[in-house]
Amino acid sequence: MSGARGRIVLISLSRELGGAELHVERLAGYLVRELDDTIELICRPDHDIDPWCRRLEAVGVRVYRVAPTPSGLARLVRILRGARLVHLHLAHPAGKYQVAAALTARALRRPALMTHHLVPSAFAGEDQGGGSWSSTYALYGRLITRHIAISQLARDWLIGRYRFDAGRVSVIYNGTDPEVFKPAAADERAALRPRLIGELMPGSAREDLTLIVTVARLSPQKGLMDLVDAAKQLAADLPSARYIVIGDGESRPTLEAAVSKSGLDQVVVLAGSRTPTEVADWLRAADLFVLPSHFEGGPAMALMEAMACGCAVIATSVSGTDELIPDAQTGSLIPAGQPAALAAAIRDLVSDAGRRSRMGQRARERVTAGFDIRQSHVRTLELYRAMWSAP
């Protein structure tokens, strides 16, 4: 590489790790490899994201931990001064910190791009955003140069409800890496399953266990109480089923209590946060992947990862998920918030290994064709360059 040409500042203001943060991590690594610019990240000082920050620093990203305080906002202004481009990632759409970053970029006349990992009203419902979200979004539409929606549905909402300029909103799916998330060969899978089961559930390393895996933040958004309810309904019919929930979050105590109250302590396992490598191993070992979200920002990254691993999937029909799963051969879509429908879908797929195999193969083909993270990265960089060359 030649000398640095400038500074690209990514901004991610989440308190915890989810799909949006993993997307930022992978995009930052790509930019470090492809550009001579210095890649920087502004994020919060919360300890829950410490491992994520360390991974970013390890690949050459300069990380600023900025608190949402008056002094922190003053520091944000200093960091953005002189940036070649500002790329703000919104995983939670409302908040003074996010608005301050957008206002600062505009005041400093920095080219600014915003990726909308969640669009209010389109997914969460009117009652979860209210007028404050609408007014904030109208402001974003005026302040930010270009916008990325991570689903066509999100783009339609940005343009239709919030009156964004259609020419400034692009759909770029987050995508996943099919070279990292890929099916295991038969012998690899045969060795992987007993190792994972033995590590997580000592004494339960039975070959006939059915592994039903979920990867999600433990938050109400993800509908995990519906999964617990479905597991309770299926306890008698599927005694060999084990539900492995990978992730952490504020709902953990509530979920633990629900699992215990339902007598499912040996059936539903809250496995906590795992590294991307460990997540990939669990997806390769799984018989079925389930994501019962009540809303998303677009097709969920964890869902793409499972499909890339050749895993049959069940997901809720929310937030553009049908853009990833267009038919019943690619995956099973059910209504959100309906544990009985979830239980029925799980029962049907667990009982039909042939259908699971065909579905997993079709799912892999779907992801590699249209949701490869390399496509996402190339299109994002093309957008950067278009912004740099604009008058």
- Cα angle at 277 between 28 and 366, to 5 degrees? 75
Residues 119 and 142 in one domain: yes
Residues 131 and 64 in one domain: yes
Residues 232 and 332 in one domain: yes
Give me the percent of the chain exceeding a pLDDT of 70. 94
Residue 180 lies in a domain: no
Residue 2 lies in a domain: no
Residues 39 and 98 in one domain: yes
Residue 161 lies in a domain: yes
- pLDDT confidence of 128, banded at 50, 70, 90? very low
Spacing of C-alpha 45 from chain mean position = 21
Better-scored residue on pLDDT, 68 or 203: 68
Q: For residue 385, how many other CB atoms are within 10 A of its CB?
A: 11
Q: What is the pLDDT of residue 129?
A: 46
Residues 337 and 250 in one domain: yes
- pLDDT confidence of 93, banded at 50, 70, 90? low
Q: How many domains, the chain?
A: 2
- pLDDT confidence of 132, banded at 50, 70, 90? low
Q: For residue 378, how many other CB atoms are within 10 A of its CB?
A: 14
**Domain hosting residue 164, numbered range:** 7-175+372-389
Mean pLDDT, the chain, whole residue set: 91
Residue 133 lies in a domain: yes
Residue 327 lies in a domain: yes
Q: Residue 239 and residue 299: Cα distance in Å, rounded?
A: 31
Q: What is the pLDDT of residue 358?
A: 98
Q: What is the mean pLDDT of residues 12-37?
A: 92
- pLDDT confidence of 197, banded at 50, 70, 90? very high
DSSP single-letter state for residue 202: T
Residues 34 and 73 in one domain: yes
Are the C-beta atoms of residues 87 and 8 closer than 8 Å to each other? yes
Q: What is the pLDDT of residue 1?
A: 38
Q: Residue 218 and residue 49: Cα distance in Å, rounded?
A: 15
Q: Is the dihedral of CA 257, 260, 266, 268 positive or negative?
A: negative
3: pLDDT strictly greater than 50? no
Q: What is the pLDDT of residue 214?
A: 98
Residues 120 and 74 in one domain: yes
* Pairing mode, strands 288-291 and 313-316: parallel
Q: What is the pLDDT of residue 296?
A: 87
Structure tokens that stand for 136 in this block: 């904030």
Q: How confident is the model over 143-166, as pLDDT tens digits?
A: 999 999 999 999 998 999 889 999
Residue 344 lies in a domain: yes
Residues 26 and 143 in one domain: yes
Q: What is the mean pLDDT of residues 67-83?
A: 92
- pLDDT confidence of 208, banded at 50, 70, 90? confident
Q: Residue 268 and residue 213: Cα distance in Å, rounded?
A: 10
121: pLDDT strictly greater than 60? no
Residues 130 and 85 in one domain: yes
Q: How confident is the model over 246-280, as pLDDT tens digits?
A: 999 899 999 999 999 999 999 999 999 998 899 99
- pLDDT confidence of 131, banded at 50, 70, 90? low
170: pLDDT strictly greater than 70? yes
Quick one: which of 98, 201, 178 has its CA closest to 370? Answer: 178
Quick one: which of 218, 266, 215, 272 has its CA closest to 242? Answer: 266
- Owner of token pair 């915003």: 114
77: pLDDT strictly greater than 90? yes
Residue 1 lies in a domain: no
Residues 170 and 204 in one domain: no
- pLDDT confidence of 94, banded at 50, 70, 90? low
Q: Residue 195 and residue 83: Cα distance in Å, rounded?
A: 48
**What CATH number corresponds to the domain at position 128?**
3.40.50.2000
Residue 181 lies in a domain: no
Residues 269 and 286 in one domain: yes
- Cα angle at 38 between 149 and 29, to 5 degrees? 55
Q: What is the pLDDT of residue 57?
A: 98
Q: How confident is the model over 329-370, as pLDDT tens digits?
A: 999 999 999 999 999 999 999 999 999 999 999 999 999 999
Residues 376 and 364 in one domain: no
* Pairing mode, strands 268-272 and 313-316: unpaired
- pLDDT confidence of 2, banded at 50, 70, 90? very low
Structure tokens that stand for 360 in this block: 């997993």
